[in-house]
Structure 1
Amino acid sequence: MPQALSIPRPLVRLNQWVIFLSVILTWVTSIEWILAIPLLANLMGIVLNFNPIMKIARVFLIKEGKKYIPEDVIQQKFNACIATVCLAGGLGSFLVGWEALGYAFTVMVATASFIAILGFCIGCFLFFQLKQFQYRRSLKRAEKIG
C-alpha cells in the first residue's frame, strides 16, 4: 500500500520560524525585502516541490526523516499557498508605500506562523473546513442525481 508523502515536523517548524522571524525583522529594520526569503522559499516549494529552507535543514536532522512526526505534503502546500499570498501581499504593499496593508498582510502571516509553532495550525483548520464543504456539496449533488 503506498504511503502518503510527508515532511518531517522539524522542517515544517523551521519554515514557520523563518516566516515569523522574517516578518519581525522586516518590522524592526523596515527592510521589506527580507520578506522575499520565505516568499521565494515557499513559492519554490509549491511550484517546484523544493523548499530551500527545508532542503538545507534536512542535513541537520539527527534521525532519519521518517522517524519524526510526519506532516502531510498536500496540507503543507495549502498552508504555503496562504503564506505566499500574505507574504507577497505584504512585500508588494510595503514596496508601493501602502504601509497599513503591508502590516495587515504581515500581521496575518506572522500570527498564523507563530500559532502554528505553538501547536495549532490555522491553515490546517481552513483546509479541513474546505474538505468538509466539498464533501457536503458532493452529497447534495448525489442526492439531486439519485
Structure 2
Amino acid sequence: MSQILSIPRPLVRMNQWTIFLSVILTWLTGEVWILIIPLIANLMGVLFNYNPVMKFARLFLIKEGKSYVPEDVTQQKFNACIAIACLAFGLLSFLIGWNVLGYVFTVMVALASFIAILGFCIGCFLFFQIKQYQYRRSLKNS
C-alpha cells in the first residue's frame, strides 16, 4: 500500500505566515526585496522539494511530524506555484515602477495566505475545482 506524501500543518502554517509577513513588511518599509525570501523558499520547495522556511520550522516541532494534521504535498506545490507567480509578478511590478500592479499581486498573495492561516485554503479550493473539471471532462470523452 502506497503512502500519500504529506507535510505537517505547522510547517505549512509557518510558510503561510512567512509569505504574509513578508508582504506586510514590504508595504511598511518600501523594501521590495523582502519579497525574495518567500519567493525563493517556495521556488526551492517546488523545484527541489526543499523549502528552507519549512526546514527551519521543523526544528521547533514538539511532536513527531506524523502526529500533526497532514497537508497534501501535491496541493501545497500547487499553492506554492500560485504564490510564486504572485510574488514574482509583484516584485517585478514594483521594480519597474508599476506600483499599482505590484500592490494587486501582493494583496492577492497576502490575502490568500492570511485566509489560509484562518482555515480556508483558496489554492486548495481552486485545485479541487480543476480536478473536478478534469474528471467531468474525462466522463464526457469516454
TM-score (norm 2): 0.99
- Give, in whole Å, the separation in 1 of the partners of 2:3 and 2:48: 21
Which residue of 2 is the match for residue 7 of structure 1? 7
Residue 138 of structure 1 corresponds to: 138
Which residue identity is paired with 2:75?
A: Q
The aligned residue for residue 37 of structure 1 is 37
Task: Measure how far apart 1:59 and its partner are.
Answer: 1.1
Residue of structure 1 equivalent to 2:63 = 63
Identical residues among aligned pairs (%): 77
Separation in structure 1 between the aligned mates of residue 58 and residue 25 of structure 2, nearest angstrom = 24
Structure 1: gaps of 5 or more residues: none
Deviation sequence 1:11-67 (CA, Å, 0-9, x none): 000000000000000000000000000000000000000000001111110000000
Separation in 1, partners of 2:137, 2:63: 42
- SS of 1:60 mapped into structure 2: coil
Question: Is 1:94 equivalent to 2:90 in the alignment?
Answer: no
Query: TM-score, normalised to structure 1's length?
Result: 0.97
Secondary structure of the 2:7 match is strand
Q: Which runs of 5+ in 2 are unaligned?
A: none
Partner of 2:26: 26
Partner of 2:104: 104
Q: Distance in 2 between matches of 1:125 and 1:75?
A: 10
Mapped partners of 1:117, 1:56: distance in 2? 19
Q: SS of the residue aligned with 1:7?
A: strand
